[in-house]
Chains A and B, each alone.
Chain A
C-alpha cells in the first residue's frame, strides 16, 4: 500500500513566539515538498516539529499506509539536520554500519555502506576517520546515512550546505531515486534545488496565513 503523509493544522512556537500556524499538507508516495523562506522564519523548526523533536502546539501528523499505524510517525522518518550525526573518531564506514545496525536495517550493513558511499561519490573513502574529511565530504557521508538506514520519509534540513554544484546534482538524483521507489522527501533549502513536481511551502515568519 503506498504511503501518504497528512499534516493537518500544525502549529508550533519557540517560547512565546509563534513560528507557524495552521500548516496543512498532503504528500502522496513519490511526493516532495520544498520548504523555503528567509533565515529565521522557521524552516528548521518546521522540520523538527514533523520529526517529533520540537513540540507542536496543535495539529496532527499522520502517515497512512505503514505496516504499524499505531507506531509514532517519527519512527518512519529519517532526519538529516544541520549536524551530520557522525562521530569524528570513527571511520566513515564504521559510522554508516553503526547507523544501519542501530536503525534495525536488515541485510549486510558493510556492503550497503560501501554502496551508499559509492552513490554519494565517496567510494573508497570508507576507511578514513570521519573527522579527516572536508566539510562537503562530511555532508555527503551524512547523506549516505539516509541510504543505509531506509525510512520512507526523508526530512532534509539544508541538504546541500557546503556542497559544490556537482554534488547538488547528486543530491537531486538521490531525491529523485528515493521518490521513484515510493518515498516522500521534505527538504528545507536556500539553493534552487531542481525537484520536479514538488510542492512548495514558503515560511514567512510570524505572518499568519488566512
Chain B
C-alpha cells in the first residue's frame, strides 16, 4: 500500500500532475478578491475566512475527476480490481495520496493568502486549522463522484456538480468554526468537532461507496 501512496505522490508532482494546478487556482481566486472588493481593509478581514474556504473548496474539486479516470485510461484500474488487497483500501490510499499532493499544499499556503486579505493572526490560524480538518472530507466525498463518473469521457464538470451538495456542510461548519475563533460570543469547538466528524464519517463511507461504483463501472 505504501507503494501505491508513493507512486501517486510521484505522479502528482511530476510533469502533468495536478498538484500545482490546485495551488495556482487557489492563489488566483484569493488574490483577485481584494481587487474586486476594493481597498476596504475591514471588509476584507471580515470576508477573509469565507474567501479562503471557498477558494480551497473549488481548488480541491479541480483535479478530483482524474483520480480514477487516469487509472482506467491506461488499464491500471483493471489490474487493481483483481488484486487481493481490498478495493476499499486501495481507494482510501489513493485519496490519502491525492490529499497529500493537492489538499495539504492548499492548507500550507492559506496563511500567506490570509495576509492578502488583512486577516488577524488568530483568524489565519483558525482558518488553517479548519482547512486541515475539512479538506480531507472534500477529497473523500469527491472520490465517490470520481468513481461514479469514471467511465464518462468528460466527467469533470459532472463530478463537481455531483459532489457540491455533499461538500456544502463541510463549507458551512468550516467557515463557522473559523469565524467563531475571532468573534467572541460564538464557541469554536462545536462547529469544529462537527467538521472533524464529517471528515471521519466520509473516511468510512467515501472509499466504500467509491469501491462499489468502481466495481460496477468495470463492466
Contact surface of A with B, Cβ cutoff 8 Å: 48, 51-55, 71, 74-75, 77, 79, 81-90, 94, 97-99, 101-104
Contacts and interface: CB of A to CB of B under 8 A. Distances in A.
B75 A84 contact: yes
A79 B78 contact: yes
B81 A86 contact: no
A89 B82 CA distance: 23
Given A74-B82, A83-B75, A87-B74, 19 more contacts: A52-B82, A54-B218, A74-B81, A75-B82, A75-B83, A75-B84, A79-B82, A83-B73, A83-B74, A83-B78, A84-B74, A85-B76, A85-B78, A85-B79, A87-B7, A87-B11, A97-B3, A98-B3, A98-B4
Contacts, number: 73
Interface residues of B, number: 24
A101 B5 CA distance: 11
B112 interface: no
B74 A90 contact: no
22 contacts: A52-B81, A53-B218, A75-B83, A77-B82, A79-B82, A81-B75, A81-B78, A84-B74, A85-B74, A85-B78, A87-B11, A89-B10, A89-B11, A90-B11, A94-B7, A97-B3, A98-B3, A98-B4, A98-B7, A99-B79, A103-B83, A104-B84
A54 B15 CA distance: 34
B16 interface: yes
A84 B79 CA distance: 10
